[in-house]
Chains A and B, each alone.
Chain A
């Protein structure tokens, strides 16, 4: 289907600001209705902000009291993942979550979590003895005296999730505009109900009858541009370590410590793709672009992870990174603006935002409907996207058959994660034209050599497929150019 011609004066029914997990979920939901929708992203690719660096957890529904909107959306969102996976094919496994108590006094907190889980209607939640914990998770420290088990919790590759949501939305007519940073907006009274006239930093502009603010860390700034509510998003940085697939510390399930009043604590996550993620720390920051890591925090993460799983070792570290969560009070702020017309706020979506995102899509659709947007279901809406084969997931026989059809599957570009040239090309053709975008889509450069062997090969494929010059190749868009000249 592809993007449709929009109405007169480049007018969309809805413009969504921000293509993170919330913007993408809302865009996909709206793509099932007869609407012209634009998805605006200031970065070079989608999922390049908050959604690219987090724990990638589908939470268990026991951390938050259901008096909060975030808890209700978490519980509903979590149940939607199986169907989404069937339709979109992103990496997701319900491996289960354990919360481990290492001291007697931590069992009090476990009891509270258990009671909350039961109250929230979490299926299969279980209070465990130390012995049961070790049975569920043999890698745990012998100091574990008990804990909680939520079998429904799971793990997901967050950027792949966002990529597939956006791909589905675009397939059903949503227009994705990257490098589109909102700079100015004003409400025009036009024929009928009027519309927002929105300008980008680079001079592009569009009109939209409704605007949804999913700008993550910068939702406060976007709210200001539209003359809507005044609030302040605080950045909270979380640092992580990624461990090699061959680490001995890989647990079967997501391992949580007992949470504190401010954070869910530092986890040990067996990622869907076989690595192990440990973290995050949690520190307030001033500069919302500051994704640097520090020696002290990283040491704390190792120590904390090792308390729960003694096999965690510095020797297995392949990279470290930091993500920033947008914090705004206790709960999410998802509502129609009381100040700006036809403007919906989706702000302060920190943990469990990824889990809640599918439910946020539905919730915002309902808000828009109440605000007057007319929703007519498309008869030809296609919930599924085409599967993109991955060499590493195929048996030798399946791979051989695929190579007979497309020999680029026989060219392994990234040895560590076993990524073929065909997969790099597939990423580029889906619009992922930065090195990081290709990394998130394919995993090439994400393994133990961190791109040491494959970067130059990817550069060449990227130039060949897009016609980009060497000075246009970037790591993540903007000024992140990789090369500084030719010999």
Chain B
């Protein structure tokens, strides 16, 4: 069995994994990427629409183009990328961690490293996760699987489509299916507001005249062999109006009902998971509850733009390199999700430097105020024209802001939206 040693092993070769590994290398650390697909790039490979890179490159790129900008730097940087390679076990006991992985070409390998960066991304919630009842015919796909079938494999999964859930991939796929000549009859969303980005509602649904049913629950899926239709019912004032239920005939159902960070490997390695994000709890170094194990990208929390993913991943790479060099946070303050905030990642800040936080709200509101406080004292207060759960919010807490207030040793920074 082959054994190799690196300073750090990055699990996952999507945007996050590549960005983190490149950052490790530019800090002079050796790094390997373990990627289960045949090539680097992760889910970007099937995202052939544009809209990627506006922040990162100030350009509008397609997913594959965005991935390529990182991929082409990996080998020249001297990063060892093992593709078609699946991690079997992650052993984080002790100083040297062991990543046991398997591939067709290498067989089973053991990669040893002092630091591990988790960058496994997320997966789509499926029908069972959201408990849509009914029969189980062919023709029910997650939107991402349909995207793969259409954009990479060149197959048409169905002709008459209903999208359940209004997540971004579902919206993108509603447009994509329309483009290839299919009829998209409806997008059905259980919540009173869309789960996807506003720009996707406009560009993917309104521009194509696809009806969006908000506050509607899917109560049944029909068909023995192939999907024949679904039944939906409106939710009014919190009550399901079964007498107002109606059927939408279709041969295909695409599900876009949320994404879940893929932390099974992390869990098995003993990493503590934040139930609000389904991602690891992370400190101000983006380090998880296990010393030397870092996390970034969609495995930490689900981002809405890949630009934010790579920004966070670069920080993780930088922190991991610093940690390998013996650096540790000098002092950390706990970060707490306050009123109307679903989560904040990471959940620690270091007062002596600049900290970047990503957060999501639980409410839809115009003219909102984002506030950070320590023990009731306001650190910063920022006006927001509009907030909604689907749009991630960025907050920078600088050394100046955090240092200006001398809190007690166990002070907590509370982030709220009012």
Q: What residues of chain A have their CB less than 8 Å away from a CB belonging to chain B?
A: 242, 246, 289-295, 298, 314, 317-321, 391, 396-397, 399-400, 403-404, 407-408, 410-412, 415-416, 418, 421, 435, 448-453, 455-456, 459-460, 470, 474-476, 478-487
Query: With contacts A396-B100, A450-B126, A452-B124 known, is A320 near B133, CB below 8 A?
Result: yes
Residues 1-31 of chain B, each 1 if its beta carbon lies under 8 Å from chain A, else 0: 1000000000000000000000000000000
Interface range on chain B (Cβ under 8 Å from partner):
35 or more
Evaluate contact between A482 and B102: CB separation under 8 angstroms.
no
Residues in B with CB closer than 8 Å to A480 are 137-138, 225-226
Instruction: Say whether B312 faces chain A, with CB atoms less than 8 Å apart.
Output: no
Evaluate contact between B89 and A396: CB separation under 8 angstroms.
yes
Q: Which of A396, A407, A478 has the most CB of B within 10 A?
A: A396
Q: List 29 A-B contacts (CB under 8 A).
A: A291-B136, A295-B131, A295-B219, A318-B128, A319-B128, A391-B102, A399-B88, A399-B107, A400-B102, A403-B107, A407-B105, A410-B107, A411-B103, A415-B36, A449-B123, A449-B124, A450-B127, A450-B128, A451-B145, A452-B142, A455-B145, A475-B138, A476-B138, A476-B225, A480-B225, A481-B138, A484-B157, A484-B158, A487-B155
Dominant secondary structure at the A interface: mixed
Of the candidate stretches B146-154, B203-211, B410-418, the one touching chain A is B146-154
Instruction: Say whether B408 faces chain A, with CB atoms less than 8 Å apart.
Output: no
Q: How far is the CA of A396 from the CA of B137 in the complex (A)?
A: 37
Evaluate contact between B84 and A411: CB separation under 8 angstroms.
yes
Instruction: Say whether B385 faces chain A, with CB atoms less than 8 Å apart.
Output: no
Q: Which of A291, A293, A411 is the one whose CB lies under 8 Å from B104?
A: A411
Residues in A with CB closer than 8 Å to B406 are none
Instruction: Say whether B106 faces chain A, with CB atoms less than 8 Å apart.
Output: yes
Instruction: Say whether B156 faces chain A, with CB atoms less than 8 Å apart.
Output: yes
Evaluate contact between A314 and B1: CB separation under 8 angstroms.
no
Dominant secondary structure at the B interface: mixed
Residues in A with CB closer than 8 Å to B124 are 449, 452
In B148-181, which residues have CB < 8 Å from any A CB? 148-150, 152-159, 180
Q: Which of A314, A396, A484 is the one whose CB lies under 8 Å from B251?
A: A484
Residues in A with CB closer than 8 Å to B131 are 295, 298, 314, 317, 320
Min CB distance A293 to B, Å, is 4
Residues in B with CB closer than 8 Å to A481 are 138, 226
Q: What residues of chain B have their CB less than 8 Å away from a CB belonging to chain A?
A: 1, 36, 84, 86, 88-89, 100, 102-108, 110, 123-124, 126-129, 131, 133-139, 141-142, 144-145, 148-150, 152-159, 180, 219-222, 224-226, 251-252, 264, 267
Evaluate contact between A292 and B155: CB separation under 8 angstroms.
no
Evaluate contact between A410 and B106: CB separation under 8 angstroms.
yes
Residue in A closest to B130 when the chains form the complex, CB atoms: A317
Q: How far is the CA of A450 from the CA of B139 in the complex (A)?
A: 13
Evaluate contact between A321 and B136: CB separation under 8 angstroms.
yes
Residues in B with CB closer than 8 Å to A460 are 153
Query: With contacts A396-B88, A400-B107 known, is A483 near B155, CB below 8 A?
Result: yes
In addition to A396-B108, A452-B145, 15 A-B residue pairs with Cβ atoms within 8 Å of each other are A246-B267, A292-B135, A293-B133, A396-B1, A396-B89, A397-B108, A399-B88, A399-B108, A410-B106, A412-B86, A450-B126, A480-B138, A482-B138, A483-B155, A486-B155
